[in-house]
Homo-oligomer: A and B are copies of this chain.
Amino acid sequence: MSGRVSEFTVPVRGQGMVEITSRVAALVTEADGEEGLCTIFIPHTSASLVIQENADPSAQDDLERWLARLVPEGDPLYRHTSEGPDDMPAHIKAALTATSLSVPVRAGRLLLGTWQGIFLWEHRHARGSRKVVVHIG
A residues with CB within 8 A of B: 1-5, 31-37, 39, 41-45, 50-53, 56, 58-59, 61-63, 65-67, 69-71, 75, 77-80, 82, 88, 91-92, 94-106, 111-116, 131, 133-137
Contacts and interface: CB of A to CB of B under 8 A. Distances in A.
Nearest to A42: B113
A1 B52 contact: no
B104 A1 contact: no
Given A43-B111, A135-B36, A80 B56 contact: yes
30 contacts: A1-B3, A1-B32, A1-B34, A1-B37, A1-B137, A2-B2, A2-B35, A3-B37, A5-B104, A5-B111, A36-B135, A37-B39, A37-B135, A41-B103, A43-B111, A43-B116, A45-B52, A45-B59, A56-B80, A59-B80, A59-B91, A61-B79, A61-B80, A62-B79, A62-B92, A63-B91, A65-B77, A66-B77, A95-B97, A96-B97
Contacts of A2: 2-3, 33, 35-36, 137
Nearest to A105: B1
Contacts of A32: 1
A41 B102 CA distance: 7
